[in-house]
Structure 1
């Protein structure tokens, strides 16, 4: 293992998972960093919507500090950022452009931008939207860590001048997600915040099968769904499900559904943290298709892939229990080997070593 690093992360949120997928992504990664001996400080802008929904205010694997303004950030944490071996700025950080400029001026160690929304970010940059990142900042980071792999990495380097665009997929904490015995309540479930571009796929792959199969039992969990959606009677709704309840939620399903945002589908190679969490629980996953998914899970053996609601219903009604469980177990084996927070932390160490000019052989993955 590489020597212990002092790491500062400025991210959207780690204390609250309400309405965002960033918190669980940071939690798994930073827990993995701590397990590998690194010291981490997470700096989070104090926002009322997170303050009212903090499900992990004080992680035991990193320090967390809240700040109210850019002035407070600079006054209180300039020395810490200056001394850090690695400083990471995440996507969607409030005043992210100003935060990024400050980090690039202040930090003496390796600097990185961690984009947990890469296809969305690229689309924003192309239309001149600089809500949390400007195109001119990208070459100033030593690393552009991307939630999305595949061809978009080359594009970040060629079109936007990233010094080193490297994939850092989200990951899962094995201590929080694993199979457990209990009653199976739903034939198919879905966990995700409402998104207008995901809703047509959710309708096609869950709502329409629910209407066609009245004896089936379904559930959709997540916030911000409009009141006007006409859910069938056999589709249960949960407004918000904190991470502490995710494992029980997944394990109460015969199958779980993964639905991907349109920008992520177009880019490919964009697995959500929910995909890895469900797989870690050993629940067979039905997913919409996108390029790169087959590099993460073997279709037909570790995951079921379709855009056809009728195919979904056939799988729900006709797949023997033994076959479904085998798919779930195979997916779990893949996740435990390749997609844990500890594994991501080791990958990040490798990228930092690359910036410093250290050979990969100098550290153990």
Structure 2
């Protein structure tokens, strides 16, 4: 049975200042294989449309709307024609109003979903704001899905009144992220790819800048938006924004690749970033800062290296030979292909959607 989804998110077409792009693409593409027809509504803000990574795909319809209140209300009204209505966190333009408009427009019987791609951060905002829009809407929503957070996030959302909350974790789309030939411009001992955000600065300084300082003879590369005016040691080469088409080469070429969680995700745990699965899918030797729950996704010291601080990162760069780095990367690739693909995540989401439909039918 074909089911239609109205998906209101930051951007499907552009990863520019949009770390969730890989997640949206993976989930929606995999849901299309299961018979879902998705229309993705994204606002033309933050220069994302000027920095598209992909053309509109054949597995989703994309509607780009102006960053105006009039345009927002117009596309929100279209939610009335869909079986499932999804509003994500972090759309980037009038999020609270968009939530109210699309959920009010959803027809009776439609499945109404808040899909949180930054749950620890969102929950922190809700805790600090008694009148937060999510708090007001939770009793009327059918479910909250998150791309991480585990039991702590589920318990927090349930305590706020969510009827159902379930993590649908980041994963790998092997057709998009996979091993490729190395590219000399990305040659380095350690690479980090991530946009500069206020709640990541201190951790990047510790886990990336400090190792570079400790190892002046090694080469480090840094990709992502916002780092142009940040101070780093001279052995750090800044790439700026790295298009998604270059992510495989960036992951395959360096001896090791670093993941640095945002403060809220590290504190909560159980929140692997999209970069974790992108890197593993390319067979990279991944070094991640320590956070609770990593072993649910990759086995420490066998499929991933876990660092407690910058000194641990420096020690890994200093001691992990290329042969062992390749072995760790291959083990990670095998693990994610077996257990962490978007096809598997879509199967989980489909089961949640079908269970909701069955509950509605039983109640009639």
Same fold (TM over 0.5): yes
Q: Deviations over 1:15-55 (max 9, x none)?
A: 22111212222111111112223211001122252232222
Find the counterpart in structure 1 of residue 164 from structure 2.
Answer: 164
Find the counterpart in structure 2 of residue 179 from structure 1.
Answer: 179
Alpha-carbon distance change, 321 to 296 in structure 1, aligned in 2, over 3 angstroms: same
C-alpha displacement of 1:70: 4.5
Higher RCO (CA-CA < 8 Å; seq separation 6+): 1
The 3-state SS of whatever aligns with 1:253 is: coil
- Are 1:21 and 2:19 counterparts? yes
Find the counterpart in structure 2 of residue 37 from structure 1.
Answer: 35
Aligned-partner Cα distance in 1 for 2:293–2:265: 11
**Pairing partner for 2:220 from 218, 221, 235:** 218
Find the counterpart in structure 1 of residue 96 from structure 2.
Answer: 97
Aligned-partner Cα distance in 2 for 1:113–1:204: 34
Aligned-partner Cα distance in 1 for 2:304–2:337: 15
The 3-state SS of whatever aligns with 1:8 is: strand
Alpha-carbon distance change, 97 to 199 in structure 1, aligned in 2, over 3 angstroms: closer
Find the counterpart in structure 2 of residue 234 from structure 1.
Answer: 235
The 3-state SS of whatever aligns with 2:287 is: strand
Aligned-partner Cα distance in 2 for 1:182–1:189: 13
RMSD: 2.1
- Contact 2:225–2:240, Cα closer than 8 Å, also in 1: yes
Find the counterpart in structure 1 of residue 308 from structure 2.
Answer: 307
Between stretches 140-149 and 55-64, larger displacement belongs to: 55-64
Q: Deviations over 1:239-277 (max 9, x none)?
A: 100111111111111100000011111111111101110
In the superposition, the TM-score normalised over structure 2's length comes to 0.91
**Pairing partner for 2:199 from 197, 200, 203:** 197
- Contact 1:150–1:292, Cα closer than 8 Å, also in 2: no
The 3-state SS of whatever aligns with 1:283 is: coil
- Contact 1:193–1:223, Cα closer than 8 Å, also in 2: yes
The 3-state SS of whatever aligns with 2:11 is: coil
The 3-state SS of whatever aligns with 2:113 is: strand
Aligned-partner Cα distance in 2 for 1:181–1:55: 20
Aligned-partner Cα distance in 2 for 1:244–1:129: 42
Aligned-partner Cα distance in 2 for 1:119–1:248: 31
Aligned-partner Cα distance in 1 for 2:101–2:202: 41
In the superposition, the TM-score normalised over structure 1's length comes to 0.91
Find the counterpart in structure 1 of residue 283 from structure 2.
Answer: 282
Q: Deviations over 1:198-233 (max 9, x none)?
A: 223222222222222222111010111261x33222
**Superposition map of 1:14-163 within 5 A:** 14-47=12-45, 49-68=47-66, 69-75=68-74, 78=77, 80-93=78-91, 94-108=93-107, 109-128=110-129, 133-148=133-148, 149-158=150-159, 160-163=160-163
Alpha-carbon distance change, 70 to 337 in structure 1, aligned in 2, over 3 angstroms: farther
* Structure 2 gap ranges (5+): none
Alpha-carbon distance change, 300 to 358 in structure 1, aligned in 2, over 3 angstroms: farther
Alpha-carbon distance change, 86 to 248 in structure 1, aligned in 2, over 3 angstroms: same
* Structure 1 gap ranges (5+): 360-365
Q: Deviations over 1:289-348 (max 9, x none)?
A: 111111111111111101232332222222233322121111112211232222221111
- Contact 1:192–1:222, Cα closer than 8 Å, also in 2: yes
Aligned-partner Cα distance in 2 for 1:75–1:310: 53
- Contact 1:36–1:342, Cα closer than 8 Å, also in 2: no
Aligned-partner Cα distance in 1 for 2:282–2:298: 15
Alpha-carbon distance change, 156 to 329 in structure 1, aligned in 2, over 3 angstroms: same
- Contact 1:124–1:130, Cα closer than 8 Å, also in 2: no
Aligned-partner Cα distance in 2 for 1:143–1:74: 23
